A and B are shown apart, each in its own frame.
Chain A
């Protein structure tokens, strides 16, 4: 006991226990110093680590946990900036209204539509790209860095470019469709080449899903690639000897062996997809309106929350909507995790 504390004392703070104090000092002072050092040593071991990681938790508490809880409180209150008089607890009124709100269900449908159109092709493409990049290629790093470029492009910049690609008049997409001979007639007898991308659910969902896919495929591919690198080569060699082709290797060896990473990306894409906001927001021609098209063709739930909170200025109802979205994300993410586990043949 005393031996260990002495060792610690010299190890931690050799300057205070100088050589002369150790040689000449009697027992009581050295006991005092040992007590201080024991305390400091314990502090160093038990507390300093917490201190060092505390900034994250403090920031999370201030900017994550507090807003979350406060939002929960607001969801049960009447809080409209246009009706300051209508104040106080609302009980479950906001949530009851949510269940009957056609706009909410429409937005939920849009969110899922865009989510399916973006997540499924995105993860599939990412898997194929990662498998290709995992082979011996020339200039591998060029490709690996290249596929990450869309991810580091600011979403506002890329969306503005896409918005002009999908423009009704003189858009690149419509020019291509025009070459194939696609034409649409709009109201007032106006005829355009291609289609009015913003006018129907299917076209607007497709356009937005393409933006999302473009941005996230590379990111997911890199995640898959990093997981694939840890798969031993001899597994593939054995499979090749048994006559398994590249495609079969991908589905029978690679995918099962990177299952944890697949799970991770599925959960992440689910959360991201259900919170989709920037792309649909900027796809709008009046980017500030938040209505998601002329009849909410592509209004996502996140957009509807924004519209309710900052356009209709009903913060209580908007808070209830965000909690609704939160619960839905939890359910879907859990279901996805379960499904992915099953598909991958996992036992958990």
Chain B
């Protein structure tokens, strides 16, 4: 009797303790939504958070929005590109933790649009009005497979160009004027680019491009099909193979400095002239500017060899778990209005995905002093209008990393170019696509 009582009592105590702990947890978690609810009611104080990466030009816009909408507080959370998307996926599974507005890159959009129930259907909030403003393929990219759910609205597109250092070009005996530089590879495409690179390397003793993978990306973006077709079947040929062979030629010609993109060494490379060209979609111009501010005026922008292609570009979405969906939609739809999109273009260089804006004088007449007064608005809007969009499969990310790893292996000297390298690229791609 005594034993049984003390035992039941101890169970009781353990229960009480856990109940205490749980109530502590639940009250702790409960206060925040409670405050939010109060805000929705009368006093209209709302906290909105935005998760994004890099510099999307939100800082000024958030301040402006807060001023125009008293009671709204915007928290900007900048993350690392990959980590940001990964965290979002985890938060969607967990059912909490995601921001009210989350930016998603083109490379990840298929993965997320396949989970349409995890996002607010913007069509329900009136997004259908926006369809005609967007480049048609940009609108399609974030639409769920059945076409019933629009998970996000596009911000920028990544029409491609080739950024180059005109001072280094001059020192190596290459033309410096952007039209003349474009003419170097106007007829022969990437072959012309490689020829120019060989001249540069021979005359300067330095490397021409940062990394072979940074040639693979734009070259692949120009192909009709990327790694997958619309049926989600792996298509190593012809698109990826063509891009792979172009990249092999770049490596064999000794043009690559073999510096991993987005690494510290890469960032340092902007300052110490480790490479002379960089394939640059509009959003890349902001990164170049931030990495090497003292190289202002030394960069310029020419046409991309091979012509066309889209690389990157983002969307803004509202996760279903957001507690302030309507306020988030107000902010989101404000952010994609022409004035704000043009403001982003002017501050960080990201080109809007709404073609009507390309006619705007602020874009048409925009010249960028950092890029030797290149007419960035005209250059990038022209590429954006011309480009043929690609379908990016849901397993695009791991497959791209796998194939780029093979290219890096060639650069490391572990593998030689040719049939063997391509076979390995295909088998690695197949493994990565298995999931």
Contacts and interface: CB of A to CB of B under 8 A. Distances in A.
A complexed with B? yes
Interface of A: 42-43, 46-48, 50-51, 54-55, 58, 80-84, 103, 164, 167-170, 184-190, 196, 198-200, 285-286, 288-289, 291, 293-295, 307, 310-314
30 contacts: A43-B13, A46-B6, A48-B13, A54-B14, A54-B17, A54-B18, A80-B435, A81-B89, A103-B431, A185-B413, A186-B411, A186-B412, A187-B410, A187-B416, A188-B256, A188-B410, A199-B412, A199-B413, A199-B414, A286-B401, A288-B80, A288-B82, A289-B82, A291-B402, A291-B405, A294-B408, A307-B398, A311-B401, A312-B435, A313-B111
B254 interface: yes
Majority secondary structure, A binding face = loop
A122 to B, nearest CB: 28
Given A164-B264, A188-B251, A288-B83, A81 B411 contact: no
Interface in B1-32: 5-6, 9-10, 12-14, 16-18, 21
Interface string B81-125: 111001001100100000000000000000100110000000000
B260 A310 contact: no
A313 B258 contact: no
A295 B405 contact: yes
B66 interface: no
A313 B412 CA distance: 29
Contact of B435 (A42, A84, A314): A314
Given A164-B264, A185-B413, A310 B9 contact: no
B397 A311 contact: yes
Contacts of A84: 114-115
Contacts of B10: 46-47, 50
Given A55-B17, A187-B410, A285 B260 contact: yes
A169 B257 CA distance: 10
B253 interface: yes
Given A188-B254, A294-B409, A310 B17 contact: no
A43 B12 CA distance: 11
A47 B111 contact: no
B212 to A, nearest CB: 8
A51 B258 contact: no
A307 B399 CA distance: 12
Interface in B244-276: 251-256, 258-265
Contacts of A189: 254
B231 interface: no
Contacts of A293: 405
Majority secondary structure, B binding face = helix
Contacts of B435: 80, 82-83, 312-314
B406 interface: yes
B394 interface: yes
B89 A198 contact: no
Contacts of B111: 81-82, 313
User: Which 8 A-B pairs give the minimum distances between C-beta atoms?
Assistant: A288-B82, A285-B260, A199-B412, A294-B409, A186-B413, A47-B13, A46-B6, A54-B17
Interface in B376-435: 394-395, 397-398, 401-402, 405-406, 408-417, 431-432, 434-435
Contact of B89 (A42, A291, A310): A310
Contact of B409 (A188, A289, A295, A311): A295
Nearest to A52: B17
B411 A188 contact: yes
Given A47-B6, A58-B21, A312-B398, A190 B406 contact: no
A50 B434 CA distance: 49
A312 B258 contact: no
Nearest to A306: B86
B239 to A, nearest CB: 21
Contacts of A285: 260, 263, 265
B413 A55 contact: no
Given A186-B258, A186-B413, A286-B262, A51 B18 contact: no
A5 B349 CA distance: 82
A274 B127 CA distance: 50
Nearest to A307: B398
Given A285-B263, A294-B412, A314-B435, 6 more contacts: A187-B415, A188-B254, A188-B410, A190-B254, A311-B397, A313-B89
Interface-centre pick from B12, B83, B261, B414 (highest chain A CB count, 10 A): B414
A184 B246 CA distance: 25
